[in-house]
Structure 1
Amino acid sequence: MKDASIQTFIEGLPKTELHLHIEGTFEPELMFKIAKRNHLKIDYADVEALKRAYSFNNLQEFLDIYYAGASVLIKEVDFYDLTWAYLTKVSGQNVKHIEIFFDPQTHTDRGVSFETVLNGIYKALKDGQEQLGISFKLIMNFLRHLDEASAFKTLEQALPHKDKIVAVGLDSSEVGNPPSKFKNVFKKALEEGFLTVAHAGEEGPSEYIWEALDLLMVTRIDHGNRCLDDAKLVKRLAEQQTPLTLCPLSNLELKVVRDLKEHPLPTMMAHGLLVTINSDDPAYFGGYMNENYQGVAQALNLSKPQIATLAKNGFKASWLKNDEKQKYIDEIDRYLQKH
């Protein structure tokens, strides 16, 4: 009975998502539909064959198929449809606010214009806000396997669109691509008024988290699992309440953890870290927000108050205004009292 009760509790809980790659929401059915519309061929016979390929041993194996899928996105309507499909999915999971990533270099390197990518995503986000009540912030990521010069070029393309993009981030292949590689472009981004975040400590070492904090001046660490290797770092993250955007099902699928029962979430909470639950690339990793919450709740035997704390952390860690954060936190407290 407890599992059913917890599942129902999670489904009704107001949530925010702070670590979501919009290209990672590309469900196989939509991928085939858009490929057909654009007269492109996918290297898989059908949807089921593509789904079977969604089994990964590490981050790089996932990235290879992630970039292959993104290659069918050509027109503004493609990016709109991709984003709208995600919004309708999470609207049904009581997600109230999202702060999501997009990877322009994945598309501009294929000859798709920066504006085509941005406008398609942004128009869907605006429609989602008006029609579904989901507020949003948009984060532009630099691909860390490319050089800093490419990141600078992307930043220049973003400058006319500060009204749409609030932050820059860093993602893709982590090992061998430390945050320090991008310190100059992040410095420029900060000067231009962008907030900064970075993937660090997923497969890379805890030193990458230090670099993200001290060189990139990030306001959040995306993933951050490896912080537990360094007690001094844990102390700093706890004292400064630097948010960590954890992605449990992603960690499981990419073998960052072997079993969700081994996930570092409870240890992080015990250390007073501001940890949040997110879905990363849900089309590839087997679940959106409810599924990520349910996965850790079941594996780690989390209580309703612990789950509610994680949901409140999501709003605390967001870039919403303080009064908006408090509104949702109060809503979660009332919801917990009733359930």
Structure 2
Amino acid sequence: MTQPATNTLIQALPKTELHLHIEGTLEPEMLFALAERNSVKLPYASVEAVRAAYSFSDLQSFLDLYYAGASVLITEQDFFELTWAYCERAHADNIVHTEIFFDPQTHTARGIAFITVLNGITRALAQAKERFGLTSKLILCFLRHLSEEDGFATLAEAEPYLDRIDGVGLDSSELGHPPEKFQRLFARCAELGLPAVAHAGEEGPADYIWQALDLLQARRIDHGVRCTEDAALVKRLARDRVPLTVCPLSNLKLCVVKDMRDHNLRELLAAGLCAMVNSDDPAYFGGYLNTNLIACRDALGLTAAEVVQLAKNSFEASWLSAAEKQRYAAEIDRIALA
């Protein structure tokens, strides 16, 4: 299949996105607009200066800028506009279902009320369902560079609103903050009926993936690309169909891989793993979902069959109902055979 034909297939296929930090969709233009509206002084003179700063040596260098950018998000309307802008881009990429991460500790530490963040995000998600038919789940992520006690405090703030929160995750600085640090917190989340996902095996070792599975009872591993360093782990992930929410342009931008041609996405698929492509923090890493797929197609020579498999995996890994998964799998087959 030619590149233009594969581009058409990538656009036409329905997809889910399962690894998306809503704060990471803050485009420089919106950053400046919100800074002006909320009288926040930025250390950058222009949109161009912000984009020039998007050159990262590792995860921490990105997070420093990420948390600084979040300072402009103050009101419920800010969070609504941020989320709505992502929903519009998701719809343009033919994403029909998304499971979004949000980081309440990033905001409550600045004095922003938990409910302010939650109301803005969920209002936009409700509007997206009404206008586009875009369904969604919302995942509260705990910041792993903070203490487990801080995580418990955030969970306490969230408890009155668990009817609007579908699960919990673990993100932020991976190195030096193993999943075992949060074992008690995730056990409490399980008691509350909150399914778990966790970032592991991006910069951290394969052992962090084992910990996320065994100690946090994670149902999905976010990133997980370092699993191939451990053959026994790969066998387990394949056997149990544990999803890996891979973010290729993020891996490139954060120097997890030096060249996209070195990415192990095809290796993961060949090993029978339930891997799929996501955009992570697209405002910072150079592209939304379809851009990630096209970059992988170009660098790795993805076949049409592999693109179809990635789309199918994204639905298998989602928290949609079995009936919804079956319906979308049939739609993918129909488009692939057209």
TM-score by length of 2: 0.99
For residues 117-176 of structure 1, what are the alpha-carbon distances to aligned partners after superposition, in whole Å with 9 as ceiling and x for unaligned?
A: 111001100111111111000000000000000000011111111111010100000000
CA distance in 1, matches of 2:235, 2:308: 24
| SS of 1:212 mapped into structure 2 | helix
Q: Which amino acid aligns with 2:155?
A: L
| SS of 1:320 mapped into structure 2 | coil
The residue aligned with 2:318 is 318
Offset of 1:305 from its aligned partner? 1.2
Alignment of 1:145-184 (within 5 A): 145-184=145-184
For residues 57-92 of structure 1, what are the alpha-carbon distances to aligned partners after superposition, in whole Å with 9 as ceiling and x for unaligned?
A: 100000000000001100000000000000011111
For residues 250-301 of structure 1, what are the alpha-carbon distances to aligned partners after superposition, in whole Å with 9 as ceiling and x for unaligned?
A: 0000000111111111111111110011000000000001001101111111
Q: Which amino acid aligns with 2:236?
A: R
Q: Establish whether residue 33 from structure 1 lines up as the match of residue 33 from structure 2.
A: yes
CA distance in 1, matches of 2:117, 2:309: 35
Q: Establish whether residue 20 from structure 1 lines up as the match of residue 20 from structure 2.
A: yes
For residues 17-52 of structure 1, what are the alpha-carbon distances to aligned partners after superposition, in whole Å with 9 as ceiling and x for unaligned?
A: 000000000000011111111111111001111111
The residue aligned with 1:260 is 260
Q: Which amino acid aligns with 2:40?
A: L
Task: Say what the alpha-carbon RMSD is for the aligned residues.
Answer: 0.8
CA distance in 1, matches of 2:144, 2:289: 26
Alignment of 1:291-330 (within 5 A): 291-330=291-330
Q: Which amino acid aligns with 2:263?
A: H
The residue aligned with 1:332 is 332
Offset of 1:248 from its aligned partner? 0.3
CA distance in 1, matches of 2:309, 2:271: 14
For residues 164-204 of structure 1, what are the alpha-carbon distances to aligned partners after superposition, in whole Å with 9 as ceiling and x for unaligned?
A: 10101000000000000000000000000000000000000
Q: Which amino acid aligns with 1:280?
A: D
CA distance in 2, matches of 1:122, 1:168: 16
Offset of 1:9 from its aligned partner? 1.6
The residue aligned with 2:188 is 188
CA distance in 1, matches of 2:290, 2:232: 33
Q: Establish whether residue 85 from structure 1 lines up as the match of residue 85 from structure 2.
A: yes
Alignment of 1:56-75 (within 5 A): 56-75=56-75
Alignment of 1:58-137 (within 5 A): 58-137=58-137
The residue aligned with 1:273 is 273
Higher mean alpha-carbon deviation, 81-90 vs 2-11, is at 2-11
Offset of 1:314 from its aligned partner? 0.1
Structure 2: any 5+ residue segments left out of the alignment? Answer: none
| SS of 1:219 mapped into structure 2 | strand
Give the total of aligned pairs.
Answer: 338
Q: Which amino acid aligns with 1:320?
A: L
Q: Which amino acid aligns with 2:112?
A: V
| SS of 2:310 mapped into structure 1 | helix
CA distance in 2, matches of 1:52, 1:134: 33
Q: Which amino acid aligns with 1:310?
A: L
For residues 192-236 of structure 1, what are the alpha-carbon distances to aligned partners after superposition, in whole Å with 9 as ceiling and x for unaligned?
A: 000000000000000100000000001000000111111111111
Offset of 1:5 from its aligned partner? 1.8
**Percent identity of equivalent pairs:** 57
| SS of 1:318 mapped into structure 2 | coil
Runs (4+) of structure 1 exceeding 3 A deviation are none
For residues 84-114 of structure 1, what are the alpha-carbon distances to aligned partners after superposition, in whole Å with 9 as ceiling and x for unaligned?
A: 0000111111010000100000000000000
CA distance in 2, matches of 1:86, 1:266: 28
Alignment of 1:201-240 (within 5 A): 201-240=201-240
| SS of 1:222 mapped into structure 2 | strand
